Structure 1
Amino acid sequence: MTNIGAGGAAPSLIKASLSRTGKWAGSVAFISGAVGDVLNPLAPFAAYIALVAAIAAAIIAIAIVLRLVLAAKALPALLFATSAAAVAGGVYAVQQETNSQNGVIAGLVPAIAQLQKSMGIVSEKVAKIEQTVTQTQKTVEEVKKSTDTVVQKTDQIASTQQQQTQQGAETQKTVEAVKQTTDTLAAGQQQQQAQAEKLQATTEQIAASIDTIAKGFAQLAAQGGAIAEPKRPDEFYHNARVYELSGDMLNARRSYLAFAGFDVDAIDPYTRFATLLRVQDGKAGAREVFGQLADKGKALSIKLVHILQFEDAQRLDKLNAFIAANPDYAPAYFLKAQEFSEDRLGSQTLADKRNEAQALTKFVSYEKDGGLLKYFVDQTQLADWLDRSRSRLAALGDVLDPARFAPSLTPMRSNQGWSMTISLPEPATAISWRLGTSGPFTDTGFLAMKDQTTGKPMANPSFELPDSTAATTIGIKYLDIRGRETGPFDIRFDPDAALQQGDKQILDQFWTSWIAFDSGGNHGLVYFTQMLSYRCAIKEVRYSLNGAALDKSLEIPPCDKKDPYAIPYDAKGYFKVADSVKSMAVQVTYTDGTKSPVREYKRQ
């Protein structure tokens, strides 16, 4: 009766367990199957769940049969395990039937497929890690093999070296050393050749790029308007000019800086940029900006424009140093000329004019064969520089001719001695002189008036010498309006020649006083007193009356160099003529061999 009761109670127990456990066990089993299906790209989890659940169900069933556990407590677990095994097994069976590698649910629900992509990344990363580990293991094995090989070869080399004689070893080392040296030399030559070719190619590329930039800029200038999204240097330079003309200085500045970033070695963009910076930030600000650009870039034009932002003497010193280091950088000569120009200085000394002319002459000399084109993006800027250079050179004339702009001396003899008048090619603030080619100089002093050119006391342009001064050299030097010493200039002084030349000048200048008819009421007398006073310049005087035959000569006493203007007491400075004489023709032959025109004097 007991067995029958127990058999009757089992279905009731199972039914009761199903009513309590079946709902949640089925739900959990279904969820487990769905999760296994979703995770299928990583591994066949559905199969794993089915297998584990089946084993668990079998173990629980055996425990119940053997009464190792109470049936009332074990039945819920048995139902859950059985449900999970059934659901997971069913899912796995469907996967295999449909060959769904990504799972059945992923094929039906796109959102699950997107989730699996993320899980696929994990899977991919895991695969990559496994692959890396495998590769690392292979590398370790290869290294081990290489190490074994190296050890083996080392042992072989050591064994061989022990068998070789000392002489053979030394010979081998020598051969290897020679070979290594030869290979090194060959490699060095190849490297030098490659560097030379690279440098040549770079130079050609730079030249070509500037030409390309210039052409691009010219085309953009013809089109007008700013470029919306500039990329090339010519586009940035074009925009800078457009913004600058429109008054948009901020964008102009940005465009100039962008152009500078290309490190193009062209002078005109940077001179324009510097002008903009000086207007906005002053010379100090421009100097700071270009200092930063010069530190970053290699373009000589940037370094040159940076130099121009310094003050006066410092700027000129730096400019001269730049030219000394880069003697063929043509734009530097034009910019140096501006340092001595009238626009910069206001008034120029002779030295300023010569420095300006020398620099401009050097700059223009590079124009041959288009030698200046490579320094300019805007060709109109180059044309302006050339026009200004030619105009200034024409205005400066032959200022570079040293013979045309040297001081001169005008000696004037009197009975007391020599008065020396100095003629200078430019205003001076001080003048000094000396006799001979050595020794100290003597200042001429100042006049009691101001020089309107300098605003300072006027330097005395004359000095005195005794009548006993022999032929010698007189040195002259002076200070120009900037206080720079000019000279000395050595001028030859010959007292005899100077006396003759001075008298000749007076005779030529005052020729109307050579002859005087009936002077002082002395009717019938012809006076020639002036010619006697300046006779040191006269070699001969020919004359004629009432005609131009010049058939007579005047008696002129010899020159007295000690007292040249005194007329000898026994000299007769006149002669008598008849009333019929109405005119007189006179011609003077000077001591230097020249002759005066035939002068005619009419009697009143």
Structure 2
Amino acid sequence: QQTEQGAETQKAVEAVKQSTDTVAQKAEEIASAQKQQTEQGAETQKAVEAVKQTTDTLAAGQQQAAAQAEKLQATTEQIAASIDTIAKGFAALAAQGGAIADPKRPDEYYHNARVYELSGDMLNARRSYLAFANFDVDAIDPYTRFATLLRVQDGKAGAREVFGQLADKAKASAIKLVHLEQFDDAQRLDKLNTFIAAHPDYAPAYFLLAQEFSEDRLGSQSLSDKRSEAEALTKFVSYEKDGGLLKYFVDQRELADWLERSRSRLAAVGDVLDPQRFAPTLTPMRSNAGWTITISLPEAATGISWRLGETGPFTDTGLMAMNDQRTGKPMPNSSFELPDSTTATTIGIKYLDIRGRETGPFAIRFDPDSALQQGDKQILDQFWTSWIAFDAGGNNGLVYFTQMLSYRCAIKEVHYGLDGAAPDKEIKMPPCDKKDPYAIPYDYQPYFKVADSVKSMSVQVTYTDGTKSPVREYKRQ
């Protein structure tokens, strides 16, 4: 029995021990979980603090960037405002003469560059120009002069390289503008147009654009070139109002030169901006077979084409078997034919200028009735000495008026007088035959008889357009 009781006691002790171990294990697990939660809370707090710190840093960075932008804007405005001061300083130094021994200001460096350049010291001139460029002054004339010096020394490629380096770090539009001026021909023009699109109110760009179409640059100008030059120069000069160009120049003498050249060229090209002033004209000439239309163009052309009406394809007039000395190319045929049945319509004309650029089309009204009358009138006025012929072909006593009769489609009335009398007698003309305008009716006599004593005749024609010719005098031989 004692043995059984001892066994039971042992079992009880082991059960208590197992329960105690379980409780201890649970306590450890709970403590571990609590510790893990505490650690996670600490990490979360650190993350929150890091986010807050990052947010504060970003906010501070934005404030700093805004402050820098404001400072840059203020600096830019200060530089722009200081151009007037620089210009005044340069003018004073120019009057003083001589190089500045220890230059510090941009006007002093520009003054020295000019002094060294005039004396032939190109190395120091170049150094002074570069020093001026480091101030990033947005004035055009120092950089155009510097570019000229570089092209003389290093060629256009060298000037392009130097200004490319300056333009990469500069903010001044003038530096970027002069840089693109160092490219060749079509590439330069494309870059200049791109610059103007981005800076439409940067006045000096229009003067440089005009040079692209100038006679000096091209050698010979088409009408389109002259118009482009005039448009750009007109735009440039328009900024002169209220001193709008002063802010682009350090040396006011350079501005005066640009303006003088602009006005001189505008006077030379005349009214090229008036599109009607230089439209083609047509001279119709009627024959018994139909119409010959002669085209007069305002400039040399390398090709001409035409069409009847407002729509449809154009017909090329073809080329003649000779070269035009103005273009060095075959001369285009300047006329074409139309049938006599052509009714009133519009004739379209277009042509290729000396650079192969298409001009037109121009719509020109063609009225065959009016054209016939105007053509006949022109011939009558030009050859008025042939209106009257006394005793023609040995037919003594007869006065012939065959020439007036042939061009009668332009005539409303003809009056004449004999031996100084007023022209109050009428020569009756047959009606105009538009289908066969120059034929004389077979039953009409183109003459009348006068006495042998008649010594002279006066004639006046009233045209179909209502105008009258002068009174013409014809003496009998």
Question: TM (normalized to structure 1)?
Answer: 0.67
Matched position secondary structure for 2:158: helix
Q: CA deviation at 1:307?
A: 0.8
Residue 436, structure 1, aligned to residue 436, structure 2? no
Match of 1:551 in 2: 424
Q: CA deviation at 1:341?
A: 0.3
| 1:511 pairs with one of 368, 384, 387 | 384
Match of 1:525 in 2: 398
Q: CA deviation at 1:588?
A: 0.7
Inter-CA distance 246–572: structure 2 relative to 1 (3 Å threshold): same
What CA distance in whole angstroms lies between the structure 1 residues aligned with 2:152 and 2:78?
Answer: 35
Residue 249, structure 1, aligned to residue 122, structure 2? yes
Q: CA deviation at 1:203?
A: 5.5
Q: CA deviation at 1:549?
A: 1.7
Q: After superposition, give the CA deviation of every residue in 1:465-488 in whole Å (9 maximum; x if it has no partner).
A: 111111111111111111111111
Residue 276, structure 1, aligned to residue 149, structure 2? yes
Match of 2:101 in 1: 228
Match of 2:357 in 1: 484
Match of 2:449 in 1: 576
| 2:287 pairs with one of 414, 425, 436 | 414
Match of 1:595 in 2: 468
Matched position secondary structure for 1:236: helix
Q: After superposition, give the CA deviation of every residue in 1:546-568 in whole Å (9 maximum; x if it has no partner).
A: 12422110010001111111111
Match of 1:369 in 2: 242
Q: After superposition, give the CA deviation of every residue in 1:364-383 in whole Å (9 maximum; x if it has no partner).
A: 11111111010000110000
Match of 1:356 in 2: 229
What CA distance in whole angstroms lies between the structure 2 residues aligned with 1:511 and 1:198?
Answer: 84
Q: After superposition, give the CA deviation of every residue in 1:235-285 in whole Å (9 maximum; x if it has no partner).
A: 111111111111111111111000000000000000011111111111111
For the aligned residue pairs, the C-alpha RMSD in angstroms reads 2.0
Match of 1:144 in 2: none
Q: Aligned residue pairs: how many?
A: 419
Q: After superposition, give the CA deviation of every residue in 1:479-529 in whole Å (9 maximum; x if it has no partner).
A: 111111111111111111111110000000001100111112211111100
Matched position secondary structure for 1:327: coil
Map residues 12-51 of structure 1 onto 2, 5 A cutoff. none
Match of 1:563 in 2: 436
What CA distance in whole angstroms lies between the structure 2 residues aligned with 1:512 and 1:549?
Answer: 19
- Return structure 1 stretches of 4+ with deviation > 4 angstroms: 194-204
What CA distance in whole angstroms lies between the structure 2 residues aligned with 1:245 and 1:200?
Answer: 37
Pick 1 or 2: higher relative contact order, CA cutoff 8 A, min separation 6: 2
Q: After superposition, give the CA deviation of every residue in 1:8-28 in whole Å (9 maximum; x if it has no partner).
A: xxxxxxxxxxxxxxxxxxxxx
Any unmatched runs of 5+ in structure 2?
1-58
Match of 2:92 in 1: 219
Map residues 274-313 of structure 1 onto 2, 5 A cutoff. 274-313=147-186
Map residues 115-514 of structure 1 onto 2, 5 A cutoff. 201-202=74-75, 204-514=77-387
Q: CA deviation at 1:196?
A: 9.8
Q: After superposition, give the CA deviation of every residue in 1:141-198 in whole Å (9 maximum; x if it has no partner).
A: xxxxxxxxxxxxxxxxxxxxxxxxxxxxxxxxxxxxxxxxxxx9xxx99x98x89986
Query: Does the 8 A contact of 2:80 with 2:138 survive in 1?
Result: no
Q: CA deviation at 1:204?
A: 4.6
What CA distance in whole angstroms lies between the structure 2 residues aligned with 1:196 and 1:565?
Answer: 85
| Bigger radius of gyration among the two | 1
What CA distance in whole angstroms lies between the structure 2 residues aligned with 1:208 and 1:221?
Answer: 21
Matched position secondary structure for 1:225: coil
Matched position secondary structure for 1:549: coil
Q: After superposition, give the CA deviation of every residue in 1:523-549 in whole Å (9 maximum; x if it has no partner).
A: 111110000000000011111111242
Q: After superposition, give the CA deviation of every residue in 1:39-63 in whole Å (9 maximum; x if it has no partner).
A: xxxxxxxxxxxxxxxxxxxxxxxxx
Q: CA deviation at 1:208?
A: 2.8
What CA distance in whole angstroms lies between the structure 2 residues aligned with 1:236 and 1:201?
Answer: 24
What CA distance in whole angstroms lies between the structure 2 residues aligned with 1:404 and 1:471?
Answer: 24
| 2:82 partner amino acid | S
Query: Does the 8 A contact of 2:419 with 2:454 survive in 1?
Result: yes
| 1:427 partner amino acid | A
What CA distance in whole angstroms lies between the structure 1 residues aligned with 2:76 and 2:437?
Answer: 77
What CA distance in whole angstroms lies between the structure 2 residues aligned with 1:592 and 1:283?
Answer: 64
What CA distance in whole angstroms lies between the structure 1 residues aligned with 2:462 and 2:280?
Answer: 30
What CA distance in whole angstroms lies between the structure 1 residues aligned with 2:72 and 2:168?
Answer: 22
Q: CA deviation at 1:201?
A: 4.8
| 2:327 partner amino acid | T
Q: Give the fraction of aligned pairs with identical amino acids, expressed as a percent.
A: 86
Q: CA deviation at 1:438?
A: 1.2
Q: After superposition, give the CA deviation of every residue in 1:550-597 in whole Å (9 maximum; x if it has no partner).
A: 211001000111111111111111101112211111111111111111
Matched position secondary structure for 1:508: helix
| 2:283 partner amino acid | T
What CA distance in whole angstroms lies between the structure 2 residues aligned with 1:298 and 1:198?
Answer: 14
Match of 2:56 in 1: none
| 1:518 partner amino acid | D
What CA distance in whole angstroms lies between the structure 1 residues aligned with 2:109 and 2:73?
Answer: 28
What CA distance in whole angstroms lies between the structure 1 residues aligned with 2:140 and 2:444?
Answer: 79
Q: After superposition, give the CA deviation of every residue in 1:413-443 in whole Å (9 maximum; x if it has no partner).
A: 0011100100000000111111111111111
Match of 2:51 in 1: none
| 1:554 partner amino acid | I
The structure carrying a bigger strand percent of its residues is 2
| 2:194 partner amino acid | A
What CA distance in whole angstroms lies between the structure 1 residues aligned with 2:267 and 2:421?
Answer: 49
Matched position secondary structure for 1:276: helix
What CA distance in whole angstroms lies between the structure 2 residues aligned with 1:443 and 1:479?
Answer: 11
| 1:496 partner amino acid | D
Inter-CA distance 302–602: structure 2 relative to 1 (3 Å threshold): same
| 1:517 partner amino acid | F
| 2:439 partner amino acid | A
Any unmatched runs of 5+ in structure 1?
1-183
